[in-house]
Structure 1
């Protein structure tokens, strides 16, 4: 019983900290947008033919990272998943039991 209380106390504390951080970030973004007229988004992904970049601007800090390899990896993973789903549908159409239940 004591272990559960520790778990739930730490879970609730962590959740509160995450919500607080999200609130501070949103207030900073809205204040910058209203007070200074900046329309730059917090997170911006720019895709061009040769590279993909991620720009992050939060709480007055910012950075830009090259995520081209990650973009290529996600495109390959997406095409693999789509192919697997299509092949699965073809297999289900071939099974006689599936036709009997339709």
Structure 2
């Protein structure tokens, strides 16, 4: 994380890299990240790839996508989806942050014990 002071006030944080799914693949979003010097690991949609190939040769360079980072993002997203299978976590029955954290910890342990 890059911490920068912009004028007076608190420090603003800027992520080193963004790993998002295919919904965040449009050129506008990538241009936004490039303008702020943030790397991205967003795969390109298949229809956008087809449109890019149908355009001229000079516009046909594919945007970069680090597949290893994207795989790790997918693994974490699947873990969150498994945690949502526990009703108390999905609906957040725990009123306080500590009780909700305890429920997430217990559910994580149960998921881990099933996998071993």
Instruction: Provide the TM-score with structure 1 as the length reference.
Output: 0.27
| Structure with greater Cα Rg | 1
More helix by share: 1
Larger RCO (alpha carbons 8 Å, 6+ apart): 2
